[in-house]
Structure 1
Amino acid sequence: MRTLRWLDMALQRINDIRIQKKLVISFIFVVFIPVILVGVFLTVSFRQTMIKDATQQTVNSVDIIRKRLADTLRMPMEISNKLLIDPRLKKLVNTQYENAFEVMMAYRDYNDFLDYTRLYKEIYNIRFYTRNPTIIDNWYFIQPDEGIRNTFWYKEALDKKQATASWVYAEDETQGNRSFLSLVRRSDFVEYRTSGVLVVDVNPQELNGIVSQELFDTMIYDSQGYIIAAKNTEWVGKNLNETEYSHSFKDRQQGIYDDIINGKPSKVIIEELMPEGSSNKLKIVSIFSVESIVSNANRISMLGFTIISVSLCIAFVLIYFSSRFLADRLMRLNKDLNRVALGDLHVTTSIRGNDEIGLLARQFSNMLHSIRHLMEEVQESNRQKNELQLRQKEIKLQMLASQINPHFLFNALESVRMKAHMHGEQEIAAAVKSLGRLLRKNLEIGGSDIPLQDELDIARYYLDIQKFRFEDRLTFELEIDPSCKHLLIPPLIVQPLVENAVIHGLETMEAGGNVRIRAGLKDDHLYIEVTDNGIGMSAERLQAINESLQDASDRREHRIGLRNVHQRLSLTYGESYGLNISSEPDRGTRIFFVIPTGGSMYVQSIDRG
């Protein structure tokens, strides 16, 4: 029910909008907004697809870089494995030489380091650190000085329990202290109870060649955060702490992340590589800004939105002028209608055309012709009607003049009652007695308040008469709080409710009809309720009755009594007081009201306060 009411209100509001505005609003909701929403949806989907494709492409590129890097680092690892078991190297670094000539002869016979750097492009340099005091430094075999011994990679290599390899970004004093990604590995000579540290430098050109062709910013860094290769060569050799990226991915694990880099939303892809036989990892990072990916999509979207906007503007202009032309024709027809409303029935419309408005104009002209013809007939009918009304008024005056004297009526009823009583017709006598009392009470009522007991007596007399009429079809009950019988109330506010219950609730019932009157005190207020178990009423009819209680122009007979009671209560006690009606089909009707025990003076004192 509430939904239907809401729909009715919505339709009424729509009907109140001018037709030109309706067409424009319809265009906005049916065409403009859907097109914009579809455009936004497609643009967002296009952007997301491009970002997804770029991310997947970058992930694939990083995976390729990881594989190429693993292949590049595999050769230094294999060479280190060979050197660790090379008996010639073991003998060279552990022999105690008598003089420099013996050392130079040993160096001349051992050219493996030089051969490896020449044969394999991945190898840039090889050197071996040994503590043999008889060795002479020759850029390949070096006695570590204090500076070397204090480096983290040298200490780490000697402190390891196993001779596993580590990949570090370290300076090579044999290359002018230039830094390289180097494989550092301890070589243990058990039979000599000595050890040394093997360092294999990776060719930086090979590393940079892996990332130089990437579309996005890509770099490789070691576990210490040193960048060993990058698309932007200016980053090589720097630590992440020295760059703007330190907060973005220094401590992050492998995965894909969203971040703000240089003030722009960006994607960060991190891939880890644990080279075979190594104890530490290398990380590969690729970064691309979302803007760089969607810039082309934005350009296409802007072009599409421009075309859509121009098309919508043209369509809007056409709709506007078409609706204006339509509205102008309707306004001309409205002016003709206004002239007719002012009494000019000789209007000739100038609207032409075969569309709906033209058809309406022709029907309007035909209607005017019919109205003029009917006016003539109505005038003749009114003349005859006026004559009839004059005659009816004369009859009413004669009836008023012959009205029966009330005392004569009471005496006549008393005579009828006594006659019935003498003939043993007790029910008839009781009914006539109740009728006489009812008439006397009604005639005695003036404009002042009466005790509740008197009002209930009137209701009881009425019910006695109706019970005589309906016999066993009607019963009634009165549940009255004795403490409220003396309270003053306006006259004739209960009897109309009882009459309504009998006539409209119980009259059509064949048996079992019941009317109950209840009166009591609740929080300094008098509560009066009239209920019946009659046919009840539907929700629609109940709503109509509730609305008619506020409508003084509603003259329907079956609602006059209820409306009079409701309006008298509201006028006497205030707008918050009046009848409350509830009903259900086949379950009866309940009518009640609550009024202050102080009467109308109580309400007036509240209003003044």
Structure 2
Amino acid sequence: MKKDSVWTIIKKYGKKSVFFRYVVSSMTTILLIFIPFFFVIFTYYKYVLTQELSKQATINALQSKNIFESLTEDFHTGYELARNSQDVRDFLHSPIQNSGTETKTREFIRTLLQDSSLPEEIFIYSFANETCVSSRETKHLGTDNLYEWYRTYRSTKLPFIMFPRTDETGRFTKLYICNEIYENNKLKGLYCTEMNYQKFVSIIQDSFVSRPDQIFVVSDIGLILYCDNPDLINTQMFEKKDTYAAFRSATNVEGNSIIYDDYIIAVAKSTQSRLLIMSYILKDSIQENYKFVNVLLLSSGIVIFVSSILLALFFSYRQYRSVADVMKILEKPDILNKNDGLLNEFFYIANSISDISQKNESITNELSEKMFLLKNAQIAALQAQINPHFLFNTLQLISLSIIREIKGDNMATYLIHQLSSLVRTAYDTENYIVSVADELETTQMYLNIQQARYKSQLTITVDVSPECLDCRTIKLILQPLVENSIVHGFSGQEPPWEISIRCRIQDDFLVYEVSDNGCGITESDLQSLNAILSSDKIDRNEKVGVSNVNQRLKLVYGRKCSMTIISDPQKRGTTITMKHIINNRL
């Protein structure tokens, strides 16, 4: 088989081609093998990178802590000097304002400012005389004359507090650090430093060797002193659920990193000021290190795709070639005998197809014969011996004559109409498969004629499941059975006479039951009738109706049908049950 013809077949059948199925199956097989392998590599590589990034983040945070400690250490050095200074003690103990102690305290503050470059101003407040001394002034703090930092302290009453403040433009310019001064466990005063907020920010940012994505400096009460997002500065951590959850986790962790949402958070704690430095690094930054894995995955994907196509082409070409050889054998069966070396599974299939073709030809001939027998059986069922068109036209002529004679309809015209409709249906030999609804209508025409004859002596009961009405069945299989009940079942029997017609669906079979309360069938006659039903011949005897129906069932449905007769002469009554498979394609 030529390669161009292979591609022609592939283009013709597209996704339905063998080539496409081989591509899908081979690619699926390869992917099922390699996907778990790549998943393990990817997961392990991601884990290693995450751990490495966490380690670097922790080291970076701890290194920043050492630089950041210089700020808090400067404050605590000044605080300890002030607490242990005799001049400051005299100022704190003085119950009234004393210019001498205030001047000495101011000189002490100026000395501290000269020795340190971080604070811009230092305040020392005495609770005894309610006076605050700074490097520039001495102020008695009344209810209407308070420093901003002192108002914040009075509202919190915290022994140590850090907080930023803004200027008139809303920009943060000042950072205050305030600590209570105790002596013999008694509160004596406050020590507060004021520093430039931008200098504080520079210290924080410069403390990191590698700049993280976000930085939080948080006090022990959860106040955000610094954040890359200015809107979060001077707010509480609990106001933002995600940062507060990370803060709660970070308060118990130092020297390790925690993973929260999309961030790796490294934490460092100030040993003196109880501050937390939290550096946030996006986990997405790991993706920058995935270049090797991405190249590996892309290369593997290309190799898998190309390999799948090559394998599919190899196997499909061999199969297409075998199919071509099979087609040659089907055209020239003698090839099988001339070249036994080519025999394989495909040639076995070719031989089987040849046998099936011969069997199909035989079945087709047999079916033609059965269709011929079916038409003969329909004619035999109605005992048709005269020309149907002549009979129908004659009935119509009789009906019209009666109508002209009596100037209207009567029972005779009604019966002629029913009979003519019944004859029209019976002699329609082209449509031998009808719906159950049509078959019931035909049977009802016959029963209308019989009930007009017997009136109240004959009772008809019809019980048909609605789902049966659209099912396909053989024409004229109920009327012969009903006629048998009237002609043979009620022969010599006193009325009332009862006929019951039931139809239902059971296990994909359409089931009919025709019952009567007639004289029944003797055991010998029942055996004779069963012999007729088991025979393939159509006998023109007095039981031709039942035999004919059984014969037509077998001609159409083969073994997927049956007919059974139950009769008890002593209890009176006969029930004929017949069923056939539901096949709505007929």
Q: TM-score interval w.r.t. the shorter chain? A: 0.3 to 0.5
Per the normalisation by structure 1, the TM-score is: 0.44
